[in-house]
Chain A
């Protein structure tokens, strides 16, 4: 089934540890995005990539890094996790980087203790 997959589904992590959230899409979409969703705040953009080989910062990029080595994969890395990074993380993709509809993965629930 075409779409976006994320791994892991959930994770409990000790503060200070490094963690990579994985995202893969098979729709050959050019643009990919990482959001975090916190209660009462809605979805906030962390990083994005308009095409393979390029990345950009969103609204809340501090403490996170991304890479886009190919079209399909867009991993999000927390170099040294902190409790404020406890959240639900959604990866999304769209055909182009404009106003094209974004399609979301199932999310990763991350708890940093």
Chain B
């Protein structure tokens, strides 16, 4: 089976930086996605990593280490609208997505 772990909740202050970690043990690896999901809404795509290293996209960056089975999503210059759940999802050998339970980030003024 697939095992994907991420913290349940994180709280940070507006303007700060938050790092959401994701560790995984899966049947093969064909990439890792991060999605953002606001309460009551659909998940929306943030990033995709398949090679080791850091991918930067504006205020959001995602890092992958395949040898360690580890990724993180870095949110910089936090804004109130960043309050949401962040989902880590791994593409396994059969090219299906396995999702972690999600990390709820609360941004406080």
* A contact set with B: CB distance below 8 Å: 40-45, 48, 58-59, 90, 97-99, 101-107
Contacts and interface: CB of A to CB of B under 8 A. Distances in A.
A87 B84 CA distance: 19
Nearest to B2: A59
A35 B50 CA distance: 23
23 contacts: A41-B101, A42-B87, A42-B99, A42-B102, A43-B43, A43-B87, A43-B89, A45-B96, A45-B98, A58-B96, A98-B30, A99-B30, A99-B48, A99-B91, A101-B33, A101-B48, A102-B33, A102-B45, A103-B45, A104-B44, A105-B42, A106-B41, A107-B42
Interface of B: 4, 30-31, 33, 41-45, 48, 50, 87, 89, 91, 95-102
A113 B16 CA distance: 44
A13 B8 CA distance: 31
B101 A104 contact: no
Main secondary structure of the interface of A (DSSP, over half): loop
A44 B44 CA distance: 16
A42 B41 contact: no
Given A97-B95, A99-B50, A101-B48, A90 B31 contact: no
A105 B42 CA distance: 6
A31 to B, nearest CB: 9
A41 B95 CA distance: 20
Of all A-B residue pairs in the complex, the 8 with the closest CB atoms, nearest first, are A104-B42, A42-B99, A42-B101, A43-B99, A99-B31, A99-B91, A98-B95, A99-B30
